[in-house]
Amino acid sequence: MTTNGDSEPVIRRTPVFCGIVPPHILDQLARHEDGALADSALRTLQHDSAARTRRRVTAVRTLTAVAAPAAPDSAPRRTVYDAGHGTDLPGTKVREEGSEPGQDASVNRAYAGLGATFDLYLKAYERDSIDGAGLALDASVHYDRDYDNAFWNGEQMVFGDGDGEIFTDFTSSVDVIGHELTHGVTQYTANLEYYGQSGALNESVSDVFGSLIKQYSLGQSADQADWLIGEGLLAPGVRGVALRSMKAPGTAYDDPRLGKDPQPATMAGYLRTNRDNGGVHINSGIPNHAFYLLAAALGGNAWERAGQIWYDVLTGGDLRADAAFTDFAKLTVAAARSRFEEGEESEAVVKAWAQVGVQTA
C-alpha cells in the first residue's frame, strides 16, 4: 500500500487477461480434424496467450483502498463499440448510456449485460460499478473473426462472435458477462494472483457472481437457478449444456470435439498441473461447488446471504493475493459469523466446505 498526494491510501492492482473459455477446451478443438474449426481454436489460443503476456507487463492501476457505499441513485455509464471483426480496441461507438436499442442483437445484449452486472453490485452490495467508484463500463462486440472467447482485459469487456459450429455469440449469456466483469471487481479488491489455488479462487469468484447476476436479473431463488456458467454458448449439436456447472462440476459437457468436462467437485479430484496457470479453470470447480452447497442449504435468494458472505471476503481486506482454498474458506466462516452472528449461516458455511474436502479450522 502507498499513498497519493492527499495522503489517501491506494493499492496497486495488476490487471490480468481472463477469458471465459478455458485453454483445455481450445487445445482440444485445435487438434480437431476439421481444419476450419481447428484454425479458429488455434487462432483464439494464440491471441489469448499473447494477451496474457501483455497484461503481465502492463503498468499497474491505483485506486482508493476502501470504496465508499454507493448512493442509491447511482447509475451505470455504458458504452458499446463495434470492433468490426478486427482486433483494434475499442472500435466504433455504436451505443451509449441512455440510447435506444438498435438492430444489432450483440450490441443490445452487451449493453443489457453490463447493466445487469451494475445492478447486482449496486443493489445487493452498495458497490458503485466495478471499482466501487463509478467506473465507466465499456464493451466491444464482433471482435476478430470466428473468435471463440470473451474476456476482460483490465479495462473493458470484449466479445467474440464464436465460430458458429461449437460456440455461439459470446454476448448470449448474461452470466458470462457478469463473470468477466467480476474479474474487474477482483482486480480492484483482493487482486487474487492468477495461478494455482488463488487463480482458481479468482475464477470461482467470477463464476459465483456471474451466476448471481443471472439469478438476480431473472428473479430466481437458489432452488430455481440452473447454476450453469455459459448456458446458451454451445451451438446446437454440441453435447453439453454449458462451460461449467456449479451444482455438478464435471457434467457440463461430454462431446467428441470438446472432450469431457474435467472439473472436480471435491479435493479428491484436485488436479495438479502446470497448464492453464496451474489449472485455474479446472480446480475452480471445488470452491464453486462449495458455494452452491451453501446457497442450496440456506435457500431463498443466493445473493442475499451466501453471496454477501463471499462479497465480504473479497472486499474485506483480509484475503491475501496468494490465498489458498483453506485461507478463503476460513475467511468465509469468519465473515458469516461477523455478519450473521452464530446463526445457521456459519454452520452451513463450515458444512459446505467440509463436503468438498476443504478445512475451515
Active-site annotation, residues: 180, 281
Cα(163)–Cα(43) distance, rounded to whole angstroms? 11
The residues with which 9 forms a beta bridge, in sequence order, are 3
Which of 168, 159, 149 is CA-nearest to residue 82? 159
What is the distance in angstroms between the CA of the first residue and the CA of the last residue of the chain? 29
The residue type of 77 is R
Which cell numbers in the block locate residue 29? 478443438
Contact 54, 110 (CB under 8 A): no
Cα(288)–Cα(327) distance, rounded to whole angstroms? 15
Contact 247, 229 (CB under 8 A): no
Under DSSP, the state recorded for 269 is G
H/E stretch holding 12:
strand 9-13
Please enumerate in sequence order all residues whose Cβ is within 8 A of that of 317, keeping only pairs 6 or more positions apart, or say none: 65, 66
The residue type of 64 is T
How many other C-beta atoms lie within 10 A of the C-beta of residue 101?
A: 12
Give me the residue label for grid cell 471483426. 85
178-209 as b/e: b if 16+ CB within 10 A: bbbbbbbbbbbbbbbbbbbbbbbbbbbbbbbb
H/E stretch holding 182:
helix 174-188
How many other C-beta atoms lie within 10 A of the C-beta of residue 3?
A: 10
The residue type of 307 is G
Q: Is 138 helix (H, G, I), strand (E, B) or coil?
A: strand
